[in-house]
Amino acid sequence: MNFNLDLVLAELADLGPTARYRHDSRLDLDRVEVLGPSSIPRTGSLFVVDAASFGTLDDAFAAAGSFLVLGADAPPEEADKADAPPVLYVPAGPGLPGPAEMLARLLEMRLRLDAWSETLLTAMARDAPLQEVFDIAAEQFANPLMLSDATLYFVLVAGRLPEELDDRLWTSAIATGACPIELCMEAWAAGSSDPGAQDRAFLMENATGDGRSYLVRNLMCGEAYYGCFELVDVNAPFQPADFALVDYLGNLLSLVMPLQSRPQPAEEPLGPLRDLLDGRSVRPQVLEYALSKAGWRADDRFFVARFGAAEPAEDVGARGQTMRLVAEFYPLARFFDDGDAALMVARDADYPLAALRARHAAHDVETSAEPRFRAGFSSLLADFSLVRTAADQAALAYDLVDDAELGGAFGSTLSCFYDDCWFEDVRVRLGLDTDASWLLDHAAVALARADAEDGAAYVETALAYLRSGCNATRTAEALFIHRNTLAYRLKRIKALSGIDLESPAAAGTDLLRVHLSCRLLAQGRR
């Protein structure tokens, strides 16, 4: 990359240089050399020269080139001529290097910048995720960066953030996933009369009245606006070199942002899954190869979750932002757009479904926080060719999130699991809204009659016992009764109906049929 005179100023900060030029990110240099007899005036060159030689310069050099003068104090600013060349003065001192040593130092600096720039360009050329690109970019900045898309939805943060960040603009954006538009507009107006039209980095000094400043760069291609990125001075004050680096990075990003204006988690590594989700057939060998590229195996146990915002949004940007935020919680999963929601395909080895369901059952939610997402989870499957089936299960559970009996929550997510609502699927598929008496087990009917006469909640007890996996402790907790009371009810159930829930094999009790019958009976009562 071409380096800038302000980058040289930052590199030599330990020598106390003084700048005598107008700071500009466009003051690019593509050559550095020690001034000698063979040197010729050239606009893009930086000439390293000692104080004595600088005083005897030919007039031709006054109109072309920039200078790094060693061993000289800078003249007063008012003594500068308007047409004087850009000059950096380095005062004399015991550690001052000679011209050749200074040239070597500057060439080493340029090699570092070239290595950083090459890494950045390589990542962009292979279409790396923007988070990776920004992580590389942040290596050159003391302060962190934040990227927003064209709709001002917060996209990502890179660089060193303080552990306890308290910033009026950034804290809100990171917490909510969207830039606080009114505050941003007010701050930008303080930095520019027309901030949206700026094609160079501009400073918003003390933008929110708390002493904090922001360095903003719009991302534009032609007349199209693709968002912006900004730095906040939480680690160090801004320097002229920051402007040069920000504009260089902005010029590069303006080339890729038209392609990634709303970056989504990549689908390409698992393209065949996209085909299966869309109902297209995929050959087993193709699916297996695609899974292996992602480090997955065809026989891995997996599930599908359908995610959306807790409050449905019509705006495409808001829906895309939901997918990005969910992807931060599940970085090992793969995400696919599904209209008004997103489908997440995850391996059980990475995110155990049982653990998520246990949090759901325990109502493990964030205290005093509004839910941000809603999600329906499928059952576990072990054949990726059935991913469309899993997606259908997740969609059914997603639609039942608000059901008082089946829905729940964990973390910041309103949730429902297909394993808890499979009966609803059976009911819909078999059309059980009319007459389902032909499915009822006679023993369960007898139990329901005894229940109606005694008011002893036998059907409810049997259903809870089966839902708890025939675990007495969990059943008693679910019903808020003592285990002795539960044991008595189970014995009464056996005596009244012949249904032996504790030893079903010995009594020939079909637990699935009993469960289905109890669900139908409970459904009928509601």
pLDDT in tens, 110-129: 999 999 999 999 988 888 88
Last residue of a domain, one of 374, 408, 430: 430
pLDDT reading at 196 higher than 70: no
Q: Please indicate, yes or no, whether residues 290 and 400 belong to a single structural domain of this protein.
A: yes
**What percent of the chain shows pLDDT beyond 70?**
88
Any idea which of 13-17, 85-89, 504-508 has the lowest mean pLDDT?
504-508
pLDDT reading at 428 higher than 80: no
Q: Please indicate, yes or no, whether residues 331 and 363 belong to a single structural domain of this protein.
A: yes
Any idea which of 264-268, 390-394, 513-517 has the lowest mean pLDDT?
264-268
**CA 89 – CA 51 distance, rounded (Å):** 9
The values of phi and psi at residue 68, to 5°, are -115, 105
pLDDT reading at 81 higher than 60: no
The dihedral sign for the CA sequence 404, 405, 406, 408? positive
Task: Print the domain residue range for 425.
Answer: 268-430
Range 189-212 average pLDDT: 76
Name, of 215-219, 384-388, 407-411, the range with top average pLDDT: 384-388
pLDDT for position 494: 92
Last residue of a domain, one of 52, 75, 109: 109
Range 368-383 average pLDDT: 88
Structure tokens at 60: 């031709």
Q: Please indicate, yes or no, whether residues 14 and 94 belong to a single structural domain of this protein.
A: yes
pLDDT for position 144: 94
Q: Please indicate, yes or no, whether residues 421 and 446 belong to a single structural domain of this protein.
A: no
pLDDT for position 266: 44
Q: How many structural domains does the chain have?
A: 4
pLDDT for position 48: 92
Asked whether residue 120 is domain-assigned, the answer is no
Q: Please indicate, yes or no, whether residues 249 and 274 belong to a single structural domain of this protein.
A: no
Asked whether residue 117 is domain-assigned, the answer is no
Q: Please indicate, yes or no, whether residues 105 and 138 belong to a single structural domain of this protein.
A: no
Any idea which of 264-268, 278-282, 288-292, 312-316 has the lowest mean pLDDT?
264-268
| CATH assignment of the domain containing 249 | 3.30.450.40
> Coil, strand, or helix at residue 158?
strand
What's the gap between Cα 436 and its chain centre?
A: 47
Any idea which of 57-66, 144-153, 424-433 has the lowest mean pLDDT?
424-433
Q: Please indicate, yes or no, whether residues 300 and 399 belong to a single structural domain of this protein.
A: yes
**Residue 339 banded pLDDT, cuts 50, 70, 90:** confident
pLDDT reading at 311 higher than 90: no
Q: Please indicate, yes or no, whether residues 290 and 412 belong to a single structural domain of this protein.
A: yes
Range 237-257 average pLDDT: 87
Q: Please indicate, yes or no, whether residues 273 and 386 belong to a single structural domain of this protein.
A: yes
Range 78-98 average pLDDT: 80
pLDDT for position 82: 57
Name, of 48-62, 151-165, 394-408, 425-439, the range with top average pLDDT: 394-408
318-321 contact pairs (CB < 8 A, 24+): 318/153, 318/178, 320/153, 320/262, 320/264, 321/153, 321/154, 321/155, 321/177, 321/178
Range 477-487 average pLDDT: 92
pLDDT reading at 215 higher than 80: yes
pLDDT for position 42: 87
Range 36-56 average pLDDT: 87
How many Cβ atoms from other residues are within 10 Å of residue 105's Cβ?
16
Q: Please indicate, yes or no, whether residues 450 and 385 belong to a single structural domain of this protein.
A: no
**CA 501 – CA 517 distance, rounded (Å):** 14
Last residue of a domain, one of 256, 282, 302: 256
Range 123-147 average pLDDT: 89
Distances (CA, A) of 105 to 9, 58, 108, 438: 13, 26, 5, 89
Range 429-440 average pLDDT: 63
Q: What SS3 string covers 23-71? A: CCCCCEECEEEECCCCCCCCCCEEEEEEHHHHHCCCHHHHHCCEEEEEC
**Residue 506 banded pLDDT, cuts 50, 70, 90:** confident
Asked whether residue 119 is domain-assigned, the answer is no
pLDDT averaged over every residue in the chain: 84
Q: Please indicate, yes or no, whether residues 200 and 328 belong to a single structural domain of this protein.
A: no
**Residue 491 banded pLDDT, cuts 50, 70, 90:** very high
Nearest to 132 by CA among 326, 290, 331, 294: 331
**Residue 382 banded pLDDT, cuts 50, 70, 90:** very high
Q: Please indicate, yes or no, whether residues 84 and 194 belong to a single structural domain of this protein.
A: no
